Every structure is written in structure tokens, then in C-alpha cells.
Amino acid sequence: MGLVREDGPLYAQIRDAIRQQIDGQSLPPGAPLPTEDELQATYGVSRSVVRQALGQLADWGLIVRQRGRGSVVAPQHEHHRRANQAGGLRQQLASAGQELRTEVLSLAIEDPPTDAAAALRTAHTWRLERLRSVDDQPVIYMSTWLPADLFPTLSAEELDGGSLHDWMRSLGHQPHGGPRRVQAVPADPVVTQQLGCQRGEPVLLMQGVTQDSYGRGLEWFSAWHRPHTVFDIDASVNPTPQTADPASTDLTRVRELVTELTSLIGVDPNTSRAG
């Protein structure tokens, strides 16, 4: 299999080819990769190029390199969260034996996107960027907008490593919930850098607003999740609609017409006629 130098660095082409096999499950978790000698022969490159490609795949957590035993595809851990639950991600992961760590990347007063301004009913907002990791692997990159009038003072130290909703509660604002939507989008350069995924790779984007019990917007956010995130949803089936009895419906309509008619002619329908 030949490589084309005009298509980019040779190691990157080998890396991407192997990654496509991993993502497509033709190389499932635990499967051995071809040896360095085999990869050299397949792609017609030097050993250093092969090692550079494998090294980056290992840095991304996609393969495990074992001295003297070759490389194998790393196990892919699914991260579950409930799509219909606002907040509580730390508790959800803890129940699965996983530890969530949150790092504040940036915090500044910025003008919000149109959707955020509408949801929060203000254009005076903080922009908070955070990276959330499970067992030291980045899984969620978040961009959150907060109303500055509601939260006039805010610092990265207050939020680093903690829960945003717990911080809101400490100030007397009780997060209640709000609408969410989830869709697959291609990873842009920022998401690629933060989550260590491939540019253009499908990631799951959750967007929404969290309101208090009065319907006041406390936050508007975009959260990009690595592809191995699973959203769990409780679904219910609507009950079978009751079919109305035609005879009962007709009788009800007749009674309504009688009431309307008697009110027009001034006769009480409840008054019996003299015999």
C-alpha cells in the first residue's frame, strides 16, 4: 500500500489508516496490530516513521505498546450519562466506579451567541470553558455562558475541580432543569485539540439551558463528548387513546342544543309542564 507525500506526513497517513481500522472495528479492542516490520513492508517507509505513527496512537490511548510483544488495540471504555438528567454527572460516573475531574480552561466576560442571549435574556455574560476527564482521559469539552448580572463575581479558583451547580446552590440559586438536545457533529480544531480526537470525526454535542424553578436561565452550554459516550434515556409508551362512544357524544350534543334553544326563548328546561 503506497503513500502519497502530497497527502501529508507519512507517519500521519499510517496513523490515520490504523485508526480507521480501529474505529471501524476491523481491529477490535485487544486485537494485535501488525508488527513494525510488517508495517514497514506494507507502507514502504522507515522504522522511525512507523514508530512515530504508533507513538501517537498510544498517546491518544488507542493502542497499548508492549515491549517485546508488539502493540494491541486498547480497550474502549464507554462513558454513560443520562440525557434526561440535568447535572449530577459526577454522581452518575461514581456509581459506575469512575472518577470525574473538571479543569477550568478559561473564564472571561464575552458577548454570548444569539441562542445563549435569548435563553439567558441578557447579553452581559461570562464565558466559561472547562475540560472534564474520567480516569485522566478527556471525555467532555464544555463552553458555558452565565448571566453576569446574576453572578457578578466569578473566579476560576472557585470552579476548578468542583461542580458548577453546587456552586450555584451555595449562592442561593437552585438549578431546576431545562431543555436539552443531542446531535452528532464533526470535531472542529478546538474540540480536536481538547478531546484528542481526529479533526472531522463525529462527536456528540449536547446543548441546552439550565433554569431555576422560576424559569430564569442560570446557564446556557455546549458540551462536546467523545464518540464512546453513551446517552441513556428512559422511554415510555403513550397509553392507548380512549375511543369516545358515538351514542354518548350525540346525547351530549343534543343536551347542549336544548340548553341553547331554551335560553333563547326564555324557557327553563328544568321546569315541568302542567298536565
Written in H, E and C, the secondary structure of 44-84 is: CCCHHHHHHHHHHHHHCCCEEEECCCEEEECCCCCEEEECC
* Alpha helix ranges (H) inside the chain: 10-23, 36-43, 47-59, 89-95, 114-120, 156-159, 164-170, 189-195, 246-265
Compare 159 and 236 and report the one with higher pLDDT: 159
Least trusted range by pLDDT, from 198-202, 204-208, 217-221, 254-258: 254-258
CATH architecture of 5-73: Orthogonal Bundle (1.10)
pLDDT for position 62: 82
Give pLDDT, residue 80: 64
**Mean pLDDT of all residues in 229-253:** 66
Q: 198 falls in which pLDDT band (50, 70, 90)? A: confident
Nearest-angstrom CA–CA distance, 236 and 84:
13
Residue 66 has pLDDT above 80, yes or no: no
Separation in Å, CA 198 to CA 33, 186, 188, 224, 242: 20, 9, 9, 13, 52
Q: Name the amino acid, one letter, at 171.
A: L
Predicted local distance difference test score (pLDDT) of residue 272: 45
Mean pLDDT of 70-88: 69
As a whole-number percent, the residues of the chain with pLDDT over 90 amount to: 41
pLDDT at residue 260 tops 50: yes
Checking if the pLDDT of 252 tops 80, the result is no
Distance in angstroms (rounded) separating the CA atoms of residues 90 and 218: 19
Higher-pLDDT residue of 125 and 9 is: 125
From CA 173, how far away is CA 76, in angstroms rounded?
A: 38
pLDDT band at 275 (very low <50, low <70, confident <90, very high): very low
Segment among 80-94, 95-109, 139-153, 213-227 with least mean pLDDT: 80-94
Q: How far is CA 91 from CA 57, 100, 230, in A?
A: 31, 9, 16
Band (268; pLDDT cuts 50, 70, 90): low
Kindly report the average pLDDT of the chain as a whole number.
Answer: 82
Antiparallel, parallel or unpaired: β 229-232 and 79-82: parallel
Question: Which pLDDT score, from 0 to 100, does residue 91 have?
Answer: 58
The single-letter code of the amino acid at 15 is R
Q: What is the pTM of this model?
A: 0.62
Q: Does domain 79-232 have CATH number 3.40.1410.10?
A: yes
Supply the pLDDT for residue 255: 72
Most confident of 102-111, 128-137, 223-232: 102-111
- Is the pLDDT at 216 greater than 90? The verdict is yes
Cβ atoms of 192 and 182 closer than 8 Å: no
User: Are 204 and 227 contacting, i.e. CB atoms less than 8 angstroms apart?
Assistant: yes
Report, as an integer, the average pLDDT of 96-111.
85
> Structural domain boundaries of the chain?
5-73, 79-232
Q: How many CB atoms lie within 10 A of CB 208?
A: 19
- Nearest CA to 69 among 12, 30, 43? 30
Query: How does strand 70-73 pair with strand 63-66?
Result: antiparallel
Examine domains 5-73 and 79-232 and report if their fold is the same.
Answer: no
What percent of the chain lies above the pLDDT cut of 70?
A: 76
Spatial CA neighbour of 142 closest among 133, 158, 131: 131
pLDDT in tens, 159-186: 888 889 999 999 999 999 899 999 999 9
